[in-house]
């Protein structure tokens, strides 16, 4: 994951936590305030994601992808 993607995710979480509507403009405002440069399409993509999905559900189910079990051998 790139630093730009991570910065957009943190921006969405901050906006959601404060109860502010998540838009590309607001994501850009946060990114500019902290001095992070991202590709121009990232904020709009993440804003569309936030409009189509529940942020609470995304946060609560972040680790619920059910990856494969890792076998560890004992020494």
- DSSP string over the chain: --HHHHHHHHHHHHHHHTT----HHHHHHHHHHHT----TTHHHHHHHHHHHS-HHHHHHTTTTT-PPPPP----
Mean pLDDT of each 10-residue bin along the chain, 75 residues long = 88 92 95 93 92 82 60 49
* Predicted TM-score (pTM) of this structure: 0.74
- Let me know if domain 3-60 sits in CATH 1.10.10.1410: yes
Domain boundaries, the chain: 3-60
**Unique residue bearing structure tokens 């076998």:** 71
Tokens of 3: 């630093």
């Amino acid at each position: 994951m790139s630093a730009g993607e991570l910065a957009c995710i943190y921006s969405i979480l901050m906006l959601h936590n404060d109860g502010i509507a998540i838009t590309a403009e607001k994501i850009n405002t946060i990114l500019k305030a902290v001095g992070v440069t991202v590709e121009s399409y990232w904020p709009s993509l993440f804003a569309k994601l936030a409009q189509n999905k529940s942020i609470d559900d995304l946060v609560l189910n972040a680790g619920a992808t059910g990856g494969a079990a890792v076998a560890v051998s004992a020494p």
